[in-house]
Amino acid sequence: MKKRSRGYPGVNLEMCVKNAILIRDQFGRMQVDKESITKALGYSRYSGAVGSKIASLGHFGLLMNSKGTYQLTDLSEKLINQKNNEEYKKALIEAIYQPGLYKEILDKYEDGKVLPNDLPSILLKEHGISQNACEKAARIFLESTQFAKVINKKKEFTKYQEKRSKGDKNVMKTGSTVKSDEDHLGEKSLYSQNEPIFNQHQNFIFALTEGKFGKTVVPAKLNKRDIQIMKKQIEMLELQIE
């Protein structure tokens, strides 16, 4: 059986911003169904091409999916309005770090100040992208990071990336919004041996399809807000399989 590729944006960030504008122009920040999103993007009926565009909006944190309805996020508004040039640049950087795959790659190579030339091969061998998708995934990654100005044409990290590295290292994703460690103490990394929460957690291991297994690690004590945050994370995963 052919191995399924890990989820990744199938449309670059620049096109996602344009698609967010199309949705906003028709529906504002209203919650709408998939059929409405399909028509806003210029299609008469839902298809794989539409699904890829919708999923990509979710990957970059521009669109939320809640029980089958969709809504543009606060981050999308920052990119659409472009009222303040600095805010727009910060929003681009925030968006480029939303896909888990992108954050892994950028965090991995930022110290070297340049991306490797064999990025498709690295995506295949180290990041779960299938062989028939790695070239496309690498191309979209480069298009998106260059649009966000964190990578230049020479595949070097730019001053915008350096600024983010110095000041925003503790920023964490929460669904479609990004908040600091101080906002959610219970979300601090469980992989840091120095955190007292490391020895106060629950493990949930569950079977998935095709012989796969999943593992969820959460703090021992949760509140209602924690559960809401976890639900938002699941909703973001749902966008990957449109």
Domain extent listing, the chain: 13-79, 85-171, 179-241
Amino acid letter for position 157:
F
Structure letter (DSSP) for residue 232: H
Q: At what angle do helices 134-147 and 85-96 cross, to 10 degrees?
A: 160
Handedness of CA 163, 144, 115, 236 (dihedral sign): positive
Split at pLDDT 50, 70, 90, the class of 230 is confident
| CB environment 115-148: b (16+ within 10 A), e (fewer) | beeebbebbbeebbbeeebbeebbebbbbbbbbb
Q: What is the pLDDT of residue 204?
A: 59
CATH topology of domain 13-79: Arc Repressor Mutant, subunit A (1.10.10)
Residue 86, helix vs strand vs coil: helix
What average pLDDT does range 204-212 have in this prediction?
Answer: 58
| Nearest to 31, CA basis, from 58, 64, 80 | 64
Give the pTM.
Answer: 0.68
The rounded distance, in Å, linking the Cα atoms of 70 and 242 is 12
In angstroms, how far is CA 4 from the centroid of its own chain? Answer: 19
Model confidence at 193: pLDDT above 50: no
For the ranges 25-29, 71-75, 168-172, 237-241, the lowest mean pLDDT is seen at 168-172
Summarised one tens digit per residue, pLDDT across range 35-93 is 999 999 999 999 999 999 999 999 999 999 988 899 999 999 999 988 778 889 999 99
pLDDT at 1 > cutoff 70? no
Interatomic CA distance for residues 102 and 141, integer angstroms: 7
Collapsed DSSP state (helix, strand, coil) of residue 40: helix
pLDDT of residue 219: 76
